Each structure stands twice: as C-alpha cells, then as structure tokens.
Amino acid sequence: MLRTLFLALVCSATLGLRAGDAPKARQESAAGIRHAVLALGAETFILSADGETVWSYPRSTRDGWVLPDGTILLAVNQCPEYPGGAAVLMNRDGKVLFEYKGTQNEVDTVQPLPGGRILLTESGPKPRLLEVDREGKIQVEFPLKCQLENPHMQTRMARKLANGHYLVPQLIDKVVREYTAKGEVVWEAQTPNWAFTAIRLKNGNTLIDCTRGNLAIEVDKAGKTVWQISNSDLSGDPISDSCGGQRLPNGNTVLTSYGANDPEAIKLFEVTPDKKMVWSLKTGRAHGIHEFQILDDKLRPLKGAQMK
C-alpha cells in the first residue's frame, strides 16, 4: 500500500499546470535568439518561442521527442498505471498511439528509429537495451554491463548511432560505452562524474553531460577531453546538475540545470564554442528540466540530425 501511495505521489504531486494556467517563460538573449522547447522532468510541457505553454502531459518523464509528424514520444516515470515506467507515443490531443510498459524498475530512455521502431532502456536487476516495433515485439535486445546495486543510477539517454551501434551513458559507473547489437563493448570513455547524456558528433567526438559534476565535456575518439564547460567558465553559476544537452546545427550547445528549483533560476541556456552564453530560459516553474528538445518556431524538430 505504501508503495502504491508513493508512486501515486510521484505521478500526481508534480503533474504541472494546465497550459492556460502556466506561467509565461522568459527568454533572454542579446542576439534576439528564441527557441521553442519540449521540456521533460517533474513537469512535461512544450513552450512556444514566445514562452507560452502550448501543450502539457500530466505525468513526469525522463526522456522525450517531438517527431516530424507532430506526435510525441516519452519515457514515462513510474506511476500506478506504469509501475515499471513506460515508453508512450501520443498525438497532441493525448491519444496514445503506442505504449510499452516497463518490466523492471524503470524505463530510462526512448529514441524514435527509422521504420517505426523505438529504442528504450530498462533499469533493474537485469538492465537491458531494447528495440521494439510498433506491435511491441522485441527486435533487438542485449544486457547492459553496469552496476546492479542502484538501478535508478544505471543508465540514461542511450542513443542508436549511424553505424548501428548504441551509445550508452552509465551514471555511477562514470563511463560512456558503445555497444554493438550483440552487446559487445567496442568503445568506452571514462567520465569525471556521473555520465547522463552522450551525443556522438559529426566529427566523431562525443559530447557528455556529467550531472552533479556540473559540467559538460567533449571527448575525442581516444577518450581525451578536447572541450569542456563548467561554472568556472560562466557568471552566476548557472549549471546545477547538468543532465540533458543538445548540440545545435550552428555548433552551439544547450544545457539544462535539473537542480535549478528556484522559479527565477535559469533552466536552460545556450553557449557558443568559446563558452559565451547567448540565450537563457527561465520558466517561472519550481522544477528544473531533466531532458529537453529544442524545436523550431513551428514546434517541429530542428532540421537535420537531432543531436540530443
């Protein structure tokens, strides 16, 4: 009974506000930059480039994507309906088009794949990566090589690469690993703090967010850090638990501060390669943003590969 009550609180205590009641977000940019955003975390919502909440979902989430057709794919947290978490695809009216109910502790990540498949990871006693089709049938499955003592901190933001491999950040293990579809590790990079987001860039480097280390690093193929950003590079210490990240087509990087729980704190910000902050977002909400997707002004994915 206590577990059921706890899960209900997880899903309902921070469901977010109705779109019409939500505070208007404030974007600051001397260059006039404006972004629309899909925000994931304790509150799940879409902000227009004008800062208005134009869509919300009444559950907390880990990961998510707006697809080119306007549908939304989410990794949903544990709750009474989804005690093991879930991967859910829905339209803007909230109609569920697909769901995969997690079989262990949590579903930690989702990614839309060509042909309608969906990549997801499950944490628990047997952590694993899956590809499932729209009928829910498993097409790819292999175990993840990670610690078992703390399932919640096993993995986040796994992504399939163009070469068919899978890039998997493993938090407490402080490592990012590249797996084949057979579960073989063919590359790895040690990280200075918990690895949350790993993004394989066009030049072969990998951008990694290191959560409570309050920094992001870019490593080369040998795992050597060739670029990094932390609060020592920025005024006002805006990084607080750097979870999600995205590399934009212009080469700039957007980072989130999941620990920024003051309504007036910066929740997202964009920096140039020379570490100049050129855009920031304050949502007016109590919770930080866990993961996100930068969208264009028509609420569609940015053109090209979604490096998030």
Q: Does residue 300 sit within a domain?
A: no
* Domain residue limits at 86: 2-295
Residue 305 included in any domain: no
263 Cβ neighbours under 8 A, 6+ residues apart: 23, 282, 283, 284, 285, 286
Q: Would you write out the chain's pLDDT as a tens digit for each of its 308 residues?
A: 333 333 333 343 333 345 557 889 999 999 999 999 999 999 999 999 999 999 999 999 999 999 999 999 999 999 999 999 999 999 999 999 999 999 999 999 999 999 999 999 999 999 999 999 999 999 999 999 999 999 999 999 999 999 999 999 999 999 999 999 999 999 999 999 999 999 999 999 999 999 999 999 999 999 999 999 999 999 999 999 999 999 999 999 999 999 999 999 999 999 999 999 999 999 999 999 999 999 999 999 999 999 99
Residue 224, in any domain of the structure: yes
Q: Which of 136, 63, 58 is nearest to 97 (CA)?
A: 136
Residue 36 lies in a domain: yes
Number of folded domains that form the chain: 1
The secondary element (H helix, E strand) that includes residue 295 is strand 291-295
Residue 251 lies in a domain: yes
Give the span between the Cα atoms of 186 and 199, in whole angstroms: 16
Specify if 304 maps to a domain: no
Angle at 115 (CA atoms; ends 132, 252), nearest 5 degrees: 95
Q: Which tokens hold the place of 22? A: 């939500």
Return d(Cα 78, Cα 138) in angstroms, integer.
21
Helix or strand (DSSP H, E) at 198: strand 197-200
Q: Is residue 307 part of a domain?
A: no
- CATH number assigned to the domain comprising residue 153: 2.120.10.30
Residue 114 resides in a domain: yes
